[in-house]
Amino acid sequence: MKFSTASVLLCMATAASAFAPNTISSRSPSTSLDMSGVTRNPNFAKLAGGYLFPEIARRRNAYLEENPDMADHIISLGIGDTTMPIPEHILSGLVQGAAKLGTKEGYSGYGDGQGMIELREKISSVLYNDLITADEVFVSDGAKCDIMRVQQMFGNDVVSAVQDPSYPVYVDTSVMMGQTGDIDESTSQYENMVYMPCTAENDFFPDYASLPRADVVYFCSPNNPTGAAATKDQLTELVKTCKERGSILVFDAAYAPFIRDPNVPKSIFEIEGARDVAIECNSFSKYAGFTGVRLGWTVVPNGLTFADGTLVKQDFNRVMGTAFNGASNIVQNGGIACLDPEGQAEIDTLIDYYLGNAKLLKDAMQEIGFKVFGGDNAPYVFVQLPEGKSSWDMFSEMLEKAQVVTIPGAGFGPGGEGYLRLSAFAPRDSIVEACERLKKAMV
């Protein structure tokens, strides 16, 4: 059967129109609405400025508008986004996961809401040495998303405590949920939130016992942004204090694979008593270069309860089941490959590469004359600036003099002022070039 060109085009146009919306005017000729009649969520009006990383991008773009010839000269030591390709064995898991969907025998639709049982069993055995069980693992699309889901579970009638400085998501999600009051412009801190100072003077570990009690304590180790990794003794004290106060500890372990010190726990569940007080969020993003692939998990112990005896796991399961349909089947197959012996070896190679970058950055900053923290058990180097030097001013100075993008410590909270965060997630040649430029420009 033959078709004329006109017939084919007509069929294509007809098919395309099936997906096109109807163009019916919803506005009467005599009525003009410049805005809806819906009241804005007042909690969003409390948020201070923009989220940190889009603000960094905005300033970078503003610099390039004024200096367009520098577009190919910028090196980013800013956002913690991995840059190395996904290794061969791990990639094969993703490829096979996709290929199975093209076969009758391998096709799968909706899966277990908590995640594939094979993946959850491997997480519990390979990463936790069976300190947890597979039924306590909730597979997700990343730790950042899970922090918000944890917040949804806790609701607005709790007080949260955060490290200062800390990853902005803990603070911003608390504000969005309505847990806080307005921001105090004189301190840059929100009312009804406990800020736990983490400074060079206290080795970046907070003294929670000396601060007001919080219902929920957010703690990240190895830490973003400071690069500090809490010791077993420090975490034992934190768990003890949370237990005495009836606080729930939300432990962010997204950077656990960077730990090389045997005295630094990779999981809060290595600490005695943690199962009574803690939830742990984690992610494959930094393990295997999955920042764009998206795969994480949260561990909620079976015995952890609210004050009324309700299981925390029960409510978290309700949040996940209501607002999430499970991580991609393809991606979960990639996660299974990560936890094979071959995948673990590939991850170790990746981590060694980024830690090598961190050492180069740390050495360069020390050579310039800065006091430097982190970079040993973490991919972040935290640079202390000369007294009185603003972190945003130093950000601008390094951008203008060396075309190197960093992250101002002030973006992580008031406690971060006077510091810069450098990320080791750039390619090695970019790290080497950035170090050379900074040593020439900043001396």
Q: What is the pLDDT along the chain (443 residues), one digit of tens a residue?
A: 455 545 544 544 555 555 566 665 555 555 566 889 999 999 999 998 767 878 888 999 999 999 999 999 999 998 788 999 999 999 999 999 999 999 999 999 999 999 999 999 999 999 999 999 999 999 999 999 999 999 999 999 999 999 999 999 999 999 999 999 999 999 999 999 999 999 999 999 999 999 999 999 999 999 999 999 999 999 999 999 999 999 999 999 999 999 999 999 999 999 999 999 999 999 999 989 999 999 999 999 999 999 999 999 999 999 999 999 999 999 999 999 999 999 999 999 999 999 999 999 999 999 999 999 999 999 999 999 999 999 999 999 999 999 999 999 999 999 999 999 999 999 999 999 999 999 999 97
Which helix H or strand E contains 338, and what residues bound it? helix 329-338
Q: Which of 344, 44, 38 is nearest to 180 (CA)?
A: 44
Return d(Cα 396, Cα 388) in angstroms, integer.
Answer: 15
**Cβ atoms of 136 and 278 closer than 8 Å:** no
Q: At which residue do the structure tokens 């372990």 appear?
A: 253
- Strands (E) located in 32-159: 75-76, 137-140
Separation in Å, CA 347 to CA 86, 315, 341: 9, 33, 10
Q: Tell me, what's the pLDDT at 49?
A: 73
Return d(Cα 143, Cα 280) in angstroms, integer.
Answer: 9
Long-range Cβ contacts of 117-126 (<8 Å, 24+ apart): 118/336, 119/332, 119/335, 119/336, 119/339, 120/297, 122/335, 122/336, 122/339, 123/297, 123/339, 126/339, 126/344
Which helix H or strand E contains 319, and what residues bound it? helix 312-323
Q: Tell me, what's the pLDDT at 14?
A: 53
State the pTM of this model: 0.91
Coil vs helix vs strand at 4: coil
